[in-house]
Structure formats: C-alpha cells, structure tokens
Chain A
Amino acid sequence: MDLIADHISHRFGALEVLDDVSFTVGAGEVVAIVGPSGCGKSTLLSILGGLLQPSAGAAELRGAPPPESLNPLTFVFQDFALLPWCTVEENVEFPLQHGGLTPSERNRIVDDALQRTGLSDFRGTLPKQLSGGMRQRVGIARALAVRPAILLLDEPLSALDSQTRELLMEDFARLLADGAIGAVYVTHNLEEAVRLADRIVLLSRRPGRVREVVTIPLTRSERGDIHAREKLLALQNELWSLIRDEAIDAEREVQHA
C-alpha cells in the first residue's frame, strides 16, 4: 500500500503553513520529513494520517492494505499520548477493543507487542511509573498491536534524552529493517533521518514546500559499519548546509514573534 501526498496545501486562518506538497511513500519504504522549525512537518503528518483536513490537495492511499492490518495508518506520537489511568497492558490493548477481536485474540496480540518491545515485565505498570523511553516503547507497542502498513512517526524521539534516543533509534531500525512496515518519519534531527530513512523529503521554511527529495545511497542493512557511518555523517552535514540558513531565519522569526 502506498501513501501519497497529492499537492497538499494548508493554512491556519491567514497563516499559510504548507504549499503544494507532493510525494509518495511506497510500501515498506521509510521517508523522513525534515525542515526548519515551523515549516509544517507535523501538520503534514496530521493531514497524511487523516487527523486534519488540508485546505487544498489530498492524502491518498494506493493499493489494498495488508489483510491482517487493523489500522493501516498508525501514529506514534512525540508526547507518547498514553492514557495515564491505564496500565501498560491496557494502553496497548486500547485500540484493539473496538476491532471485533475476541478477548483471547486481543491477549495474544498484546502479549506479542509487549514482548517485541521488551515490556512484558511492565504490563501492570502505570505510565507515570515509567521513564520517557519506556513510555515511548509503550507507544510503539500500541502501534505494532494494530499491525500497521505505514507508521506515522511524529518526532518520536525528540522528548527523550540522548542515550534513550540512541537506544530507541536502534529499536526503530530493527523494527523497520525487514520492510514489512513503511514509515513517514517527521524529525528535526538529521542524524535520525539519515540513519532510518530510505528517502528524505526536505521542506523549505514556512510555508513548507518540497525543496529536495534526497535518496540515502546505502541500504538499511549497510548502515551499521563504520565506513557507512562516515558516509551518513557526510550526508548529514550536506543536508545541514542545505537547511542551515533557513533554520536560522526560522529561529529568528520565532524569536521576533
């Protein structure tokens, strides 16, 4: 199943946020969206996931979702969006309770998702008792439980400390390695983008337009070794040089707002 951004534009009142954004996310492909602060990355993701109506253009799907998928387009949120009154297990089970599954099917799916994210020992724990990294694991487990075709990741690591971010980045890399799940990965962190994505859509400052679409010249399996790291770092620097001036302008704009 492909996800297509088809000439999407959006404005909040007089504020033009996105202007004619188009690209396609192929099945199993990971596309990162990067750009300066306020360029409309998260707005674009909300539109792609059907949580926001664009002012013009459309988000479209091409091809049938995998038959076992309960929610083909599934978000992982920056602030985790866990129900604080529910345990880890209940949070993961939450989206399954309205999909016509039997309790035993739900239990099996939840067990599997908790095991894949290393949360089996925390099933009865409340979110407030977990670290930021563990909370995001719960968010990932909840997303995996509905067997998505495409994950919509809205800066999923930005609220975490650098060590936890590194660990979760490795988890994401493993999760997306076999190409069974595609992803749109919104981030302002270029390192995350070059390490996880197949392609990077570079947005201009507001109103966000597609400035460049960069293909990462390494397969995901090649990115582990030291030479690949050097190449990725060079690419990261190249991307930074592309957006640096606009990032500075965007920062000044925020300061003067």
Chain B
Amino acid sequence: MLERANDQASSPQAGNTELRPVAFRGAGFAPIAGRYAGFLSLVLAIGLWQLAGSAGIVNSLFLPTPIAVVRAIWQLALSGVLWQHLGYSIMRIGTGWILGTVTGIIIGFGIGLSSLARGVGITFISALFPIPKIALLPLLILWLGIGEEPKIATIALGVFFSTAISVYSGVDAVPRNLIRMAQSFNVPFHAIVRRVIWPGALPSILAGFRITASIALLLVVSAEMIGAEYGIGAFVLQAGNLMQTDQLLAGVVILSLFGLAVGRLINRLETQLLHWR
C-alpha cells in the first residue's frame, strides 16, 4: 500500500514566513532575428543614403542616389544591355560551377572512401587550395586561348577545391556506427555509399555549395574584369572607367541580387533535402 505524503509548503505551519519569488536568471544568450528589424534597417539605410544624395551632402558623381541606381538598372534592362552582360556571366558561372562541382564531388568521394586517393588527393589539395585561383588566369589564357575557356576554367578550379574539401569532410563526418550497421546487414558497398554515405554527407556538401557559389561569383567578376568584353564584371569595369557611377553601382546591385537568388536556391535545396534534420 502506498503512503501519500503531504505537501509541506501548503501546510498552515509554513505560513508565517514571507514568500518571495525565485529570481529569474535564465535571460539572454538566445538571439532571435526579428521579423521586420532587418527589413526596416535596410529601408532606413537606403532612405538616409537617398536623403544625403538629394540634399547634396554627398556628391552624386562619387555616390549616386538609390533612385539613380534603380533608374540605371531599369534603363539597362529596357535596352537589353543588362541581359546581354548577365547572360554571359551566368553562362560562365554555370558552366564553371557545374564542372568544378562534379569533379569536386567525384574526387571528394574518392578521398573520403579510398586510402590511396586520400594519400595522394589530400597532398595535392593542401598544396594547391591556398593559391588564389585568379592568379592562374594568365597562365590559363596561355594554355586555353583568350575565349571563354580560361574564365570558365578559373571558376571551375576555384569551385573544385572547396567542393572536394567539403565532400570528403562530409564523408568523414558520416557517423561510423551507421556504416557499421549497414555492414552488419551485409549491405553491398555501392548501396552503403548511395543510401548511407551520400545522404549523411549531404549537409556538408550543401554547405560547400553555399561557399562555392560565392567563390564562383567572385571569380567570374575578377575574370571578366581582366579579359572580357561582356559580363557584369566587364560592365562594372567599363562603367568605372567612364565615371558612370550609377551604372557601376547598378552592376554591383545586380551581382548582389544574383548572389541572393543563389543563396535562396540553396536554402530551398536544404529545406527539401535535409528535412530530416
């Protein structure tokens, strides 16, 4: 038989002493991004910028107003110049990124799964990864000519190293107990790679995509500034040379919007592919 105890706190004998609340000490260290704070601060910054330009506080030759920049984008879009430059940049980024990503994934998986590939691959990657890839563009122009190939190759190289590193790091991070579990059920090697290692490494691979998208954007602009007639990088450089700062900033804004769009795409991929996290 269970004997039930009385709650001492509610008994009459406990009533003489004054009650005081326990002080709350658990506040802070949990930052939450406000829903509207970011948007409002951006609007405020643009508003101040516009005000400074309109009031003549800032010379519009050095810093055109946001309205002037938007007008420039609008005119570039209407004239078709924007699409021509953007088209070239997207083609270079797309081709270079896909080439670098595919080879990076293949080599990264090789390094993650094979001792021989790891021994050789990590040595080469460690040696070549720190080289700023844009420094190789002149050499690539010598090797591949002055067409699209050297620009695409520069982007592909930049993307390749980061992808390979994120892939083999992802493969290394797959919990070994899941691989042992699959082995204990005699699951074949290719099925372990496909069903266990690939999904397990995917968070790291997608995080790598975010980095390589930025690298590709950086390299396309740099490469286009060095040797291209068309492309957002070339457009920004030409506008700078002609002191058309509204057009220059229009190009910068387009690059920023492009980066944001790619970021959103990767967010969506993560939401769909990593819903299990």
Which A residues fall within an 8 A CB radius of B? 46, 49-51, 71, 73-75, 77, 79, 81, 83-86, 94-95, 97-98, 126, 128, 146
Q: Is the CB of A49 within 8 A of B184?
A: yes
Q: Hey, which chain B residues are within 8 Å of A49, CB to CB? A: 184
How many contacting A-B pairs (Cβ < 8 A)? 49
Q: Hey, which chain A residues are within 8 Å of B180, CB to CB? A: 46, 51, 81
CA distance A47 to B195 in the complex (A): 25
Q: Is the CB of A97 within 8 A of B276?
A: no
Cβ contacts B159-198/A at 8 Å (1 or 0 each): 0000000000000000101101111111110010001100
Min CB–CB distance A60 → chain B (angstroms): 18
CA distance A238 to B191 in the complex (A): 48
Min CB–CB distance A35 → chain B (angstroms): 22
Given contacts A77-B177, A126-B276, are A83 and B185 in contact (CB under 8 A)? no
CB-based nearest B residue for A73:
B184
Q: Hey, which chain B residues are within 8 Å of A97, CB to CB? A: 191
Q: Hey, which chain B residues are within 8 Å of A85, CB to CB? A: 199, 276
CB-based nearest A residue for B202:
A85
Q: Is the CB of A98 within 8 A of B188?
A: yes
- Determine if B277 is an interface residue (Cβ-Cβ < 8 Å): yes
Min CB–CB distance B190 → chain A (angstroms): 10
CA distance A75 to B185 in the complex (A): 8
CA distance A228 to B189 in the complex (A): 48
Q: Tell me which of A84, A128, A146 contacts B185 (CB under 8 A).
A: A146
Q: Is the CB of A94 within 8 A of B185?
A: yes
CB-based nearest A residue for B176:
A81
Q: Which of A85, A94, A146 has the most CB of B within 10 A?
A: A85
CA distance A95 to B178 in the complex (A): 12
Min CB–CB distance A184 → chain B (angstroms): 13
Q: Is the CB of B276 within 8 A of A95?
A: no
Min CB–CB distance B181 → chain A (angstroms): 4
Q: Is the CB of A83 within 8 A of B199?
A: yes
Q: Is the CB of A95 within 8 A of B185?
A: yes
Q: Is the CB of B195 within 8 A of A51?
A: no
CB-based nearest A residue for B183:
A51
Q: Is the CB of A71 within 8 A of B186?
A: yes
CA distance A86 to B276 in the complex (A): 8
CA distance A50 to B180 in the complex (A): 10
Q: Which of B178, B181, B199 has the most CB of A within 10 A?
A: B181
CA distance A87 to B191 in the complex (A): 18
Given contacts A97-B191, A98-B191, are A84 and B276 in contact (CB under 8 A)? yes
Min CB–CB distance B195 → chain A (angstroms): 7
Q: Hey, which chain B residues are within 8 Å of A95, CB to CB? A: 182, 185-187
Q: Hey, which chain A residues are within 8 Å of B186, CB to CB? A: 71, 95, 98
Sample (9) of A-B pairs whose CB atoms are under 8 Å apart: A46-B180, A50-B184, A79-B177, A81-B180, A83-B178, A85-B199, A94-B182, A97-B191, A146-B185
Min CB–CB distance A141 → chain B (angstroms): 13
Given contacts A49-B184, A128-B276, A146-B185, are A94 and B195 in contact (CB under 8 A)? yes
Interface residues in B229-277 by Cβ distance below 8 A to A read 276-277
Q: Is the CB of A74 within 8 A of B276?
A: no
Q: Is the CB of A75 within 8 A of B187?
A: no
CA distance A71 to B186 in the complex (A): 8
Q: Hey, which chain A residues are within 8 Å of B187, CB to CB? A: 94-95, 98
CA distance A73 to B186 in the complex (A): 10
3 A-B pairs with least C-beta separation: A95-B185, A81-B181, A85-B276
CB-based nearest B residue for A79:
B177
Query: In the complex, given contacts A71-B184, A81-B175, A81-B181, what are 17 additional A-B residue pairs having Cβ atoms less than 8 angstroms apart?
Result: A46-B180, A51-B180, A51-B184, A71-B186, A74-B185, A75-B181, A75-B184, A77-B181, A81-B177, A81-B180, A83-B196, A83-B199, A85-B276, A94-B187, A94-B195, A98-B185, A126-B276
CB-based nearest B residue for A99:
B186
CA distance A185 to B61 in the complex (A): 79
Q: Hey, which chain A residues are within 8 Å of B182, CB to CB? A: 94-95
Q: Hey, which chain B residues are within 8 Å of A126, CB to CB? A: 276
Q: Is the CB of A84 within 8 A of B177?
A: no
Q: Is the CB of B195 within 8 A of A83?
A: yes
Min CB–CB distance A82 → chain B (angstroms): 8
Q: Hey, which chain B residues are within 8 Å of A146, CB to CB? A: 185
Interface residues in B63-114 by Cβ distance below 8 A to A read none
Q: Hey, which chain B residues are within 8 Å of A94, CB to CB? A: 182, 185, 187, 195
CA distance A86 to B199 in the complex (A): 10
Interface residues in B186-237 by Cβ distance below 8 A to A read 186-188, 191, 195-196, 199
